[in-house]
Amino acid sequence: MINKAVEKDLPLTEAVFYILLAVRRPNHGYGIIGEVEEMTAGRVVLGAGTLYGALQTLEKKGWITVVSADAGSRKKKEYVITETGREVFTAERERIAELLKNSTLMDAPGLPDKLEGQI
Amino acid sequence: MIRFRLMFDKDKEVKWLDQMATDGYALKNFVMGFYSFVPCEKGEWQYQIDIGQGFFSVKPEYREFMEEMGVEIVQPWGPWVILRRHREEGAFELYSDVDSRIEHYKKILLLFKLVGLMELLGLIFSVYLAVKASEGWPGVFMLAAIVCVFMNMIVRTKRILNGLYEQKGETPAGYNGRRVSALVPVGMLINSVNLLLQDRLPTPVRMVMMIIALILILYGVATTAAGKTQ
């Protein structure tokens, strides 16, 4: 059962889905791009503008938060998923699971007789 | 090396800057149509143009973020930001999916609409002044030419957006906006120059220029009406 409160935010775009996944533990911009690229075997390579826009939106929505890791003079912004972010992700996961489960219907043999002639 | 160009289409501008970099000239500075280049290794840089959140400036977090990505901010100009990255770091694309591209072009469309509207109001006002004082017509023609250019940019941007919506699987409302033929603003500019040089040019020259300008404008309007400009 998908949580009603987060339902309006679904489905997530592929970019947002993978960004949330990449910040399950603190991660910085470059790390997110690299991890997503690796997970998808090079299929999804996030553009700098796409990632910047998405991170800003996600932060505004409260799905991720910044954990400033200013080690010494060189500070690198790191992002990590929040509780709300996890809820949304879980809801999306359930939605996708439903898709996947229903997709197996395609393998089931036998069309209704009346349709068989038409296809 | 300095080159002067008036570019309104950032996609064409990026293409040109990349071509210059391929030829060994890297853009270093931009001021009002003047692009200054310094020699670089052939194909060293790849350029991109973003539309930022600031005006003639970028937010510190934007700069930091881009720097971390290996992206150098060449220069903010108005709402635009010129960016570049070393080619060896791979393909440089700012927006990698349809959704973020739509957001990007929506911002550009809004910008063109706002500036276009201001130009249009300026044009109406300058016509009013010119009629009242029976002078100032060169300015009117110049503004009219600029309005044409902006109308074209709005049409072009809408076309791009429609293509993106289609790609996303949404059927956009039918859009059959037409671009004004480039001949119209060119004719208007010639007319404007002609009026400006009223006292300096001999009458036959002015007559010829006037006729050329009129032919260009009329031919441009005709091809636009016939829908031949894509």
B224 φ/ψ angles, rounded to the nearest 5 degrees = -65, -45
Flag whether A111 is in a domain: no
CB pair distance less than 8 Å for B68 and A33: no
Per-residue pLDDT of chain B (230 residues; tens, 9 = 90+): 899 988 888 899 999 999 999 999 999 989 888 999 999 999 899 999 999 888 888 888 899 899 988 999 999 998 999 999 999 888 899 999 999 999 999 999 999 999 989 988 998 888 888 888 877 888 888 888 888 888 888 989 999 999 999 888 887 666 667 777 788 888 888 888 877 777 777 888 888 888 888 888 888 888 777 776 55
Residues of A in contact with B66 (CB under 8 A): 48, 52
Complex ipTM value: 0.80
Residue A112 has pLDDT above 70, yes or no: no
> Which residue matches tokens 């075997």?
A41
Cα A48 from chain centroid (whole Å): 17
Query: Which residue in A60, A49, A56, A58 sits closest to A81, CA to CA?
Result: A58
CB pair distance less than 8 Å for A50 and B96: yes
CA gyration radius, chain B: 21
Task: Give the separation between CA B111 and CA B180, rounded to whole angstroms.
Answer: 19
- Measured N-to-C along each axis, helices A48-61 and B60-68 cross at an angle, to the nearest 10 degrees, of 130
Query: Which residue in A69, A90, A87 sits closest to A78, CA to CA?
Result: A69
User: Which CATH number do you get for residue A85?
Assistant: 1.10.10.10
| Predicted pLDDT of residue B90 | 83
A71 φ/ψ angles, rounded to the nearest 5 degrees = -85, 110
Total of domains in chain A: 1
**Burial category of B134 from C-beta neighbours within 10 Å (exposed 0-12, middle 13-18, buried 19 and up):** exposed
Best residue in A50, A55, A68 for a mutation probing chain B (most B CBs within 10 Å): A50
Give the C-alpha distances (Å, rounded to integers) separating A78 from A23, A31, A71, B62.
9, 9, 12, 14
B169 to chain A, any CB pair closer than 8 A? The answer is no
Distance from CA of B95 to the nearest CA of A (A): 5
CB pair distance less than 8 Å for A45 and B96: yes
Choice between B129 and A91, residue whose per-residue pLDDT is larger: A91
Flag whether A113 is in a domain: no
| Predicted pLDDT of residue A102 | 93
| Predicted pLDDT of residue B61 | 87
Q: Where are the domains of chain B?
A: 2-89, 98-225
Domain that holds residue A56: 4-97
**Longest Cα pair distance anywhere in chain A, in angstroms?**
73
With beta carbons less than 8 A apart as the criterion, state whether B123 and B140 touch: yes
Q: Which residue of A has its CA nearest to B50?
A: A49
Flag whether A48 is in a domain: yes
Residues of A in contact with B96 (CB under 8 A): 15, 44-47, 50
pLDDT digits (tens, 9 = 90+) for A24-60: 999 999 999 999 999 999 999 999 999 999 999 999 9
Flag whether A115 is in a domain: no
Flag whether A74 is in a domain: yes
Flag whether A104 is in a domain: no
